[in-house]
Structure 1
Amino acid sequence: MHLTSLHSLLMNWESLFVVPELITLSFFAVLFQVFVFDVGGKDWKFYDWSQITTVVTFGKYDPELMCFAHSKGARVVLKGDTSVKKMVDPVVRAAWINQQVDLAKRQYMDGINLDIEQHVMYSSAEYYALTNLVKEATEAFHKEIPGSQVTFDVPWTPDYIDRCYNYSGITHACDFIFVMSYDEQSERWSNCIVGANAPYNRTLTGYNNYIRLGINPKKLVMGVPWYGYDYTCLSLSMTHVCSFAKIPFGGPPCSDAAGRQVPYKIIMKQINNSLSGILWDQEEKAPYFEYKDSHGALHQVWFDNPRSISLKAAFVKERGLRGIGMWNANCLDYSNGSAAREQTQAMWEALNPE
């Protein structure tokens, strides 16, 4: 983008702040959210912008992305992370919030996604500080940037092993929460047997747990994984049972730390050289495959594909959730090959099944 074009777009965007109604009633008048995490680079040029409502920037600030997203009617928001222990001090907390608001203004951005994944004990000073942080950040952003959006990332279930947050209070304070419905094998008390990254029934149980806390489904956005886990099998049975090494997480002896995260674009290239082709687990409603590496070790790879994501996306609509999103959009193959284009299009389309 030429600097003159960028300057023109920035000036047009800045003018919207003079008339907040343009933002709240027209520019961002979208109920169903498609919430996208971008980790940098230029993949965003090939995203399905007909669906996207918000892009969270986890990579380096890109003014070209910001301008393009705004031209498509989508928000671009900051990533927000800080030490919860430091946020106990109200003065430090207020200063941090002001810094984020000022940064968003300078970069013509539309809010912040608070991605704070830290150990917090129930009723501790950090427990109350985190809730106050979300409340005060939301108030500050809404006041200083009309039409802005403040969201908070939460684990797949509110009874997650080490995050005793005030989930109902946090959800009430912000615009909505993004439920990270993945890495669900991070706490396993049973045998170290490989399973899906985001098994269907377990994923849905997480949402029911949030709703039982009194949280409105319209304040829940489902997060799905566009990556999988590759596990080295200590043993692999004829019935596809793969046992893996014990690597504890918190208290449980088994966790997905024994596996390696692999983006969808790499997984789809591996399948052609697999021993099994794509298999389907009917109980977990997830695909997987098996292969042998160059050292002769057997592996099992579990992931999500359009079939498994479509099932979850259907639940989003049936249960009346606020929307759906993914970690992360850069995991797909945006190259020019016909196979890559078909695979990538299918993943985007799975977010909004007919």
Structure 2
Amino acid sequence: MMWKALLLLLSVSTLPLIEGAVLCYFESWAVYRLGDGKVEISDLEPALCSHYIYAFAGINTDYTIRVLDPWADLCDGGGRCGFDKFTAMKNVEPHLLTLLAVGGWNDGSALYSQMAETAETRAVFIKSSIQLLKIHNFDGLDLAWTYPTQNGGAPHDRENYVHLLRELKEALEAEGMVLTVTVSPTKSVIDEAYDIPGIAQHADLVTVTTYDLHGSWEHHTNHHSGLYAFSEDVGSDLFLNVDYIINYWVAGGMPEKKLVMGVPAFGRTWTLDSIEEHGYYAPAYLPGMTGPWTKTEGFMAYAEICVKQAEEGWTIAVEKGCNEPYTYQLSSSKIWCAYENHDSVTLKAQYAADHGLGGVMIWSINDDDAHGVCGGRKFDLTSTLADTFNKAKR
């Protein structure tokens, strides 16, 4: 029995240090994109991130974990073996941790809320999750049930979420695995959904999605991941900036060393109503045109943005008192896009280090310039984020 205890101790000791984490999400559906938008697991650079996180798995109606895209994720029946290829990056970078993310906005809250209600149903989910992680050599789970009590959830999710985290943590730690969680940046959601000290007690790292703070669902332009409030922000818009959100989580009881700040490798776009107004709060009642690879209105990957900027007629600007760029084209499309670039990512990484945060996160690495089509340096945003943060933490 002593050798079993020793093995368990050694496996638990491999848990990552809280400080200095660089989390990189990979969207499994990026393999279906066309042209330079297509990103395979083989395109990733294993040494770039401390944690690579595969998005997403889901949940079945019997509360077991669900493989959402068996053909892409598994090897069965001639599949693409996404899970196994992803965790095989550790053959190149032995210190890398590979995690599987479970949840996401599209998965909703209803089934997670039901699963978390009782110890029995939670045990079903936890057991099946660990089995899947072990089969495919993952190092842990990222719980991306980001909106307890929201999106089909129930009020008791707040308490049950912490029960789930406690039991998940115990089960994963016994296998030498880690538990990270992804949480909302929205003040009203934080107040209703999260017992922050309870979350802090059981999660290894807590990633705040500090982006998508504005978008084409609003009928005026604004930056979706501003580090600080814009001078004309009023009311609840004063809550929609990275600095406010990070400080709100810390004030609520989250230790800085466990907190991970999210940075987007994508932009949010609008179609301007008039070419005469093209700063913040410019009227814009329609989303921007779709990018050539992501094909989503109101959204463009960083690689799509920088390719577009090589065309004529694009202006790049930074609003007074702000750090992040926006770009617009008035001659034909009237598109306006808020995004991150090399300089703004540098500032965000420095901010995270200066505030003693445990890590930074990029969503998602496949939206970065994966093939070096813009500046010649592959994954420039992710590399800049990691380099700046790690140097500042030393």
Shift of 1:174: 1.2
Residues 98 and 285 (structure 1), Cα distance of their counterparts in 2 relative to 1, 3 Å cut: same
1:72-83 maps to which residues of 2 (within 5 A)?
72=93, 73-81=95-103, 83=112
Specify the SS of the correspondent of 2:353: helix
1:270 paired to 2:334: no
One-letter amino acid of the counterpart of residue 68, structure 1: M
Q: Does 1:92 align with 2:121?
A: yes
CA shift, 1:246, in A, is 8.2
What's the offset of the Cα at 1:290? Answer: 1.0
Q: Once structures 1 and 2 are overlaid, which stretch shifts more, 51-60 or 114-123?
A: 114-123
Residue equivalent to 2:85: 64
**Pick from 180, 196, 221: which aligns with 1:167?**
196
Q: Residue 325 of structure 2 corresponds to which residue in structure 1?
A: 287
**1:10-29 matched pairs, under 5 angstroms:** 19-20=7-8, 23-25=11-13, 28=16
| C-alpha displacement of 1:48 | 4.1
Q: Is the 8 A contact 1:157 1:209 kept in 2?
A: no
Tell me the CA shift for residue 343 of structure 1: 6.0
Correspondence 1:137 to 2:199 = no
Counterpart of 1:62 in 2: which secondary structure? Answer: helix
Q: Which residue of 2 aligns with 1:222?
A: 261
**Paired residue secondary structure (2:179):** strand
CA contact (8 A) 2:12 2:173 kept: no
Within-5 A mapping of 1:1-354: 19-20=7-8, 23-25=11-13, 28=16, 31-40=19-28, 41=31, 43-58=40-55, 60=73, 61-72=82-93, 73-81=95-103, 83-118=112-147, 120=149, 124-143=155-174, 145-146=175-176, 148-160=177-189, 164-185=193-214, 192-201=219-228, 202-238=241-277, 240-241=279-280, 242-245=282-285, 260-273=298-311, 275-292=313-330, 296-335=332-371, 337=373, 339-342=374-377, 344-345=379-380, 347-353=382-388, 354=391
Helix, strand or coil for the counterpart of 2:370? Answer: coil
CA distance in structure 1 between the aligned counterparts of 2:96 and 2:118, rounded to whole angstroms: 34
TM, length-normalised to structure 1: 0.81
Does 328-337 or 179-188 show the bigger shift? 179-188
Q: Identity of counterpart residues, as a percentage?
A: 17
The RMSD of aligned alpha carbons is 3.1
How many angstroms does 1:275 deviate by? Answer: 2.6
Q: Distance in 2 between matches of 1:305 and 1:343?
A: 14
Which SS does the other structure have where 1:350 is aligned?
helix
Letter in 2 for 1:63: D
1:245 CA drift (Å): 2.0
**Separation in 2, partners of 1:344, 1:213:** 34
Distance, in Å, in 1 between the alignment partners of 2:167 and 2:216 is: 32
- Alpha carbons 1:161, 1:187 under 8 Å: kept: no
Q: Which amino acid aligns with 2:379?
A: T
For residues 98-145 of structure 1, the C-alpha deviation after alignment (integer angstroms, 9 at most, x for no partner) is 1101111111111100001335179932221111111111111111x1
Q: How far does the alpha carbon of each residue in 1:211-261 deviate from its partner, in whole angstroms, 9 at most, with x for none?
A: 1012110010111000001111123435635212289xxxxxxxxxx9611
Contact 1:309–1:351 (Cα < 8 Å) also in 2: no
- Count of residue pairs the alignment pairs up: 322
Residue identity in the other structure for 1:212: A
Q: Distance in 1 between matches of 2:17 and 2:148?
A: 36
Q: Which letter does structure 1 place at the counterpart of 2:298? A: R
Deviations for 1:254-307, whole angstroms, at most 9, x for unmatched residues?
xxxx961111110111112253332122333111111258xx441101101111
Separation of aligned partners in 1, 2:336 and 2:371: 26
Does the Cα contact within 8 Å between 2:216 and 2:285 map onto a contact in 1? no
The answer to whether the 8 Å contact 1:232/1:299 transfers is yes
The whole-number CA distance in structure 2 between the counterparts of 1:259 and 1:200 is 24
Letter in 1 for 2:253: G
Show CA shifts across 1:128-185 (max 9, x none).
Answer: 1111111111111111x12x11011011244448952222211221112011110111
Q: Which runs of 5+ in 1 are unaligned?
A: 1-16, 248-257
CA distance 1:21–1:67, shift in 2 (3 Å): farther
| Cα gap change, 1:151 to 1:316, in 2 (>3 Å) | same
Measure the CA separation in 2 of the matches of 1:311 and 1:32.
Answer: 16
Greater mean deviation of Cα atoms: 21-30 or 193-202: 21-30
**Residues 25, 142 of structure 1: CA spacing in aligned structure 2 closer, same or farther, 3 A cutoff?**
closer
Q: For the residues of structure 1 that align with 2:362 and 2:7, how far apart are their CA atoms?
A: 32
1: CA distance between counterparts of 2:137 and 2:11? 13
Please state how far the C-alpha of 1:347 moved relative to its aligned partner.
4.2
CA distance in 2, matches of 1:228, 1:163: 28
Amino acid across the alignment from 2:87: M
* Contact map agreement 1:80 1:116 (CA 8 A) in 2: yes
